């Protein structure tokens, strides 16, 4: 029941501006390789769901700076500002982490 | 009521009329390719109060990406096919029918068999249709089974594979490429590469002749040239500035503006534009071929309340006509439609990306990537300077990633 009350409170706080969904919208682009909501389909594409925010931000900055080896991500990371990376990071961090078997 | 029972009821409800009382609005999606399928899924994912009806004339999704591997015998038709069951699990009503007319004023689509369906917002993701008339004799040659395009994955993919299997060692395969823009920039060069790979081990005296209407390879040029020189010397012959103007089925000749090309298997990709339903709906705005859109919402510049996705759109600068791009455009449209249906303002600064892979042999691939961001001054999506790029070199690592990308984007779009 507590869950239901919480859900109702969330619904009442529906955002008035699309800007509030920007993290979700930016993150949706990643899904073509990392899976819907960041749940990886293929084991050679890392899951992003539930990744701690700081980890995501650090990885993206390292890709940008060329400090982290990549085939594609160094090219894509440079397409986003630090603020946009923060928004994506917050969105992925808020997804429930996948239970690994 | 349990959710399960509710879904059953929704599925049984008639198509015609207004959105059911339980939904706040209805979106109809025309076409279940990368664009349409992704839009349908993400609308439901992000706002379950929206009813989504997807109209698709095929029973199965067949992916153009990776279908070149089927031609080479490196993958099967089943590998590149998916059902629409995943969308149904998201509560999308998938209707196996064809939209034959759109009435933008009354907000109705007419189905071939299912009658009229009303919508609050319409998404048209029709893919491409061919301008066969621009190549004299094409229709006749196609009906005689002497030329194929195989540029919509499906029956023609299987037909072309069969022709290549039956080709005698020493036979010639001709691939004719139309002027850009066309669906999947690197696609023809990938096709030439993997068919050459098949010839190299199965019938080494066969040749691949490419007649390209473009002045040079349109995508990943240096990487393809390198692969052809390293892997297929003497097998692939490339001729630029060669536009197909006719086909003579009796002599198996592709007539070019300069010098004709004769072969045993003719694979001529005709010039193409937005799928026919876009034309019937009055959505074509440019060069009698493409549909211009507002890139913040994907809404048509020709008709209010109708959003156009994928290969049918008039591409923004340096934007490819690819499955990745259609998938990303679909999410942009889904987000915007949800805001619009709620009386809110859509994301003012959308940013989407493209990543796609091309195989050059059974195992090796390379990619191209771009990031596209809204530019307020020119009011379009532009590539972000400094971002994106191509592979340093072809590799088996990227060949593996290409398969992972494919399985993931199929799931992201359809499951």
* Residue in chain A nearest B392 by alpha carbon: A71
A29, A60, A73, best to mutate vs chain B, most B CBs in 10 Å:
A29
Say what the alpha-carbon torsion angle B210, B176, B34, A28 is, to the nearest 10 degrees.
Answer: 40
* Residue in chain A nearest B400 by alpha carbon: A44
B280-291 burial, b for 16+ CB within 10 Å, e for fewer? ebebbbeeebbb
Q: Cβ contacts (< 8 Å) between A76 and chain B: which residues? A: 353, 355, 369, 371, 387-388
Share of chain A above pLDDT 90, in %: 72
Banded model confidence at residue A4, pLDDT cuts 50, 70, 90: very low
Residue B15: the pLDDT is 57
Q: Cβ contacts (< 8 Å) between A78 and chain B: which residues? A: 371, 384, 386-388
In whole angstroms, what is the distance from residue B238 CA to residue B55 CA? 40
Residue B257: the pLDDT is 87
* Residue in chain B nearest A47 by alpha carbon: B408
Say what the alpha-carbon torsion angle B294, B300, B59, B268 is, to the nearest 10 degrees.
Answer: -90
Instruction: Return the closest-CA partner of residue B31 out of B341, B274, B273.
Output: B274
Banded model confidence at residue A5, pLDDT cuts 50, 70, 90: very low
Put simply, the chain B residues between 41 and 70 with a CB less than 8 A from any chain A CB are: 41-42, 45-46
Q: Report chain A's mean pLDDT, rounded to a whole number.
A: 85
Q: Supply φ then ψ for residue B391, to 5 degrees.
A: -60, 150
B412, B414, B415, best to mutate vs chain A, most A CBs in 10 Å:
B412
Say what the alpha-carbon torsion angle A42, A48, A52, A54 is, to the nearest 10 degrees.
Answer: 110
| pLDDT single digits (tens) A38-77 | 999 999 999 999 999 999 999 999 999 999 999 999 999 9
pTM assigned to the model:
0.93
| pLDDT single digits (tens) B186-197 | 999 999 999 999
Instruction: Return the closest-CA partner of residue B412 out of A81, A37, A92.
Output: A37
| A64 at interface of B, judged by CB pairs closer than 8 A | no
Is pLDDT at B354 greater than 70 in this prediction?
A: yes
Beta carbons of B386 and A78 less than 8 Å apart:
yes
Instruction: Return the closest-CA partner of residue B19 out of B112, B107, B124.
Output: B107
Are β-strands B244-248 and B253-256 bridged in parallel, bridged antiparallel, or unpaired?
antiparallel
In whole angstroms, what is the distance from residue B270 CA to residue B135 CA? 7
Beta carbons of B408 and A41 less than 8 Å apart:
yes
| B389 at interface of A, judged by CB pairs closer than 8 A | yes
Beta carbons of B408 and A21 less than 8 Å apart:
no
Beta carbons of B371 and A80 less than 8 Å apart:
yes
* Residue in chain A nearest B395 by alpha carbon: A71
| pLDDT single digits (tens) B240-267 | 999 999 999 999 999 998 889 999 999 9
| Half-sphere exposure for B149 (CA within 13 Å, toward CB) | 24
| pLDDT single digits (tens) B56-86 | 999 999 999 999 999 999 999 999 999 999 9
Q: Cβ contacts (< 8 Å) between B405 and chain A: which residues? A: 32-33, 45
Q: How wide is the angle at C-alpha B155 spanned by C-alphas B154 and B158, nearest 5°?
A: 95
A26, A34, A72, A84, best to mutate vs chain B, most B CBs in 10 Å:
A72
A70: part of which helix (H) or strand (E)? none
Put simply, the chain B residues between 343 and 372 with a CB less than 8 A from any chain A CB are: 344-353, 355, 367, 369, 371
CB B71 within 8 A of CB B150: yes
Domain ranges of chain B: 3-129+273-346, 138-270
Task: Examine domains B3-129+273-346 and B138-270 and report if their fold is the same.
Answer: yes
CB A85 within 8 A of CB A57: yes
Beta carbons of A18 and B346 less than 8 Å apart:
yes
| A45 at interface of B, judged by CB pairs closer than 8 A | yes
Alpha carbon of B402: minimum distance to chain A alpha carbons (Å): 10
CATH label, B3-129+273-346, candidates 2.130.10.10, 3.40.50.720, 3.40.50.10800, 3.50.50.60: 3.50.50.60
Is pLDDT at B407 greater than 50 in this prediction?
A: yes
Is the Cα torsion angle B76, B80, B84, B86 positive or negative in sign?
positive
Q: How many residues would you count in chain B?
A: 415
Instruction: Return the closest-CA partner of residue B73 out of B210, B202, B263.
Output: B202
| HEC readout, chain B | CCHHHHHHHHHHCCCCCCCCCCCCEEEEEECCCHHHHHHHHHHHHHCCCEEEEEEECCCCEECCCCHHHHHCCCCCCHHHEECCHHHHHCCCEEEECCEEEEECCCCEEEECCCEEEECCEEEECCCEEECHHHCECHHHHHHCCCCECCCCCCHHHHHHHHHHHHCCCCCEEEEEECCCCCCCCCHHHHHHHHHHHHHHHHCCCCEEEEEECCCCCCCCHHHHHHHHHHHCCCCEEEECCCCEEEEECCCCEEEECCCCEECCEEEECCCEEECHHHHHCCCCCECCCEECEECCCCEECCCCCEEECHHHECCCCCCCCCHHHHHHHHHHHHHHHHHHHCCCECCCCCEEEEEEEEECCCCCEEEEEEEEEEECCCCEEEECCCCCEECCCCEHHHHHHHHHHHHHHHHHHHC
Instruction: Return the closest-CA partner of residue B213 out of B148, B134, B137, B153.
Output: B134
| A18 at interface of B, judged by CB pairs closer than 8 A | yes
Beta carbons of A32 and B345 less than 8 Å apart:
no
User: What angle, rounded to 10 degrees, do the helices at B34-46 and B323-341 form?
Assistant: 40
Q: How many residues would you count in chain A?
A: 101
Domains of chain A listed by start with CATH number: 22-93 (1.10.760.10)
Banded model confidence at residue A18, pLDDT cuts 50, 70, 90: low
Beta carbons of B411 and A72 less than 8 Å apart:
no
Alpha carbon of A96: minimum distance to chain B alpha carbons (Å): 16
Beta carbons of A45 and B328 less than 8 Å apart:
no
Is pLDDT at B357 greater than 80 in this prediction?
A: yes
A83: preceding bond cis by omega (within 30 degrees): no
Map residue A30 onto helix, strand or coil.
coil
In whole angstroms, what is the distance from residue B266 CA to residue B253 CA? 8
Beta bridge partners of residue B392, listed in sequence order: none
Please count the other Cβ atoms lying within 10 Å of the Cβ belonging to residue B60: 14
What CATH number was assigned to the domain covering residues B138-270? Answer: 3.50.50.60
Instruction: Return the closest-CA partner of residue B323 out of B129, B65, B126, B67.
Output: B65
């Amino acid at each position: 029941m507590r869950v239901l009350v919480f859900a109702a409170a969330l619904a009442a706080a529906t955002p008035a501006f699309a800007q509030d969904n920007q993290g979700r919208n930016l993150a949706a682009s990643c899904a073509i390789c990392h899976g819907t909501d960041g749940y990886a389909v293929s084991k050679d594409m890392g899951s992003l769901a539930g990744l701690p925010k700081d980890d995501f931000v650090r990885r993206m900055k390292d890709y940008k700076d060329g400090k982290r080896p990549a085939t594609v991500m160094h090219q894509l990371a440079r397409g986003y500002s630090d603020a946009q990376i923060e928004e994506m990071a917050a969105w992925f961090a808020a997804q429930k982490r996948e239970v690994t078997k | 009521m349990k959710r399960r029972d509710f879904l059953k009821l929704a599925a049984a409800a008639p198509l015609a009329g207004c959105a059911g009382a339980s939904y706040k609005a209805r979106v109809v999606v025309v076409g279940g390719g990368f664009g349409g399928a992704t839009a349908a899924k993400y609308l439901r994912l992000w706002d379950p109060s929206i009813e989504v009806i997807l109209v698709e004339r095929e029973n199965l999704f067949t992916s153009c990406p990776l279908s070149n591997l089927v031609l080479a015998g490196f993958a099967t038709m089943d590998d590149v096919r998916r059902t629409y069951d995943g969308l149904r699990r998201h509560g999308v009503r998938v209707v196996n029918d064809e939209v034959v007319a759109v009435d933008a004023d009354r907000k109705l689509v007419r189905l071939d068999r299912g009658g009229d369906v009303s919508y609050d917002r319409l998404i048209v993701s029709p893919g491409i249709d061919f301008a066969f008339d621009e190549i004299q004799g094409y229709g006749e040659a196609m009906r005689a089974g002497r030329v194929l395009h195989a540029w919509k994955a499906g029956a023609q993919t299987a037909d072309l594979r069969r022709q290549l299997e039956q080709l005698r060692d020493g036979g010639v395969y001709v691939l004719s490429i139309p002027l850009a823009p066309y669906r999947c920039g690197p696609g023809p060069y990938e096709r030439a590469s993997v068919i050459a790979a098949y010839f190299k081990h199965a019938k080494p005296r066969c040749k691949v002749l490419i007649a390209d209407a473009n002045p040079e390879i349109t995508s990943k040029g240096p990487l393809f040239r390198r692969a052809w020189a390293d892997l297929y010397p003497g097998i692939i012959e490339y001729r630029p500035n060669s536009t197909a103007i006719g086909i003579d089925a009796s002599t198996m000749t592709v007539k070019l503006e300069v010098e004709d090309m004769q072969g045993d298997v003719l694979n001529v990709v005709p010039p193409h534009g937005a799928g026919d339903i876009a034309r019937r709906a009055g959505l074509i705005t440019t060069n009698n071929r493409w549909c211009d859109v507002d890139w913040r919402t994907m809404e048509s510049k020709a008709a209010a309340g109708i959003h156009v996705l994928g290969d049918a759109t008039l591409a923004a600068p340096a934007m490819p006509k690819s499955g990745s791009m259609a998938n990303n455009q679909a999410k942009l449209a889904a987000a915007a439609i949800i805001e619009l249906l709620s009386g809110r303002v859509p994301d003012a600064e959308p940013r989407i990306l493209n990543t796609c892979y091309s195989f050059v042999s059974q195992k090796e691939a390379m990619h191209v990537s771009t990031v596209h961001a809204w530019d307020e001054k020119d009011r379009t999506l532009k590539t972000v300077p400094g971002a994106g790029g191509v592979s340093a070199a072809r590799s088996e690592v990227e060949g593996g990633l290409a398969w992972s990308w494919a399985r993931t984007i199929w799931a992201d779009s359809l499951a």
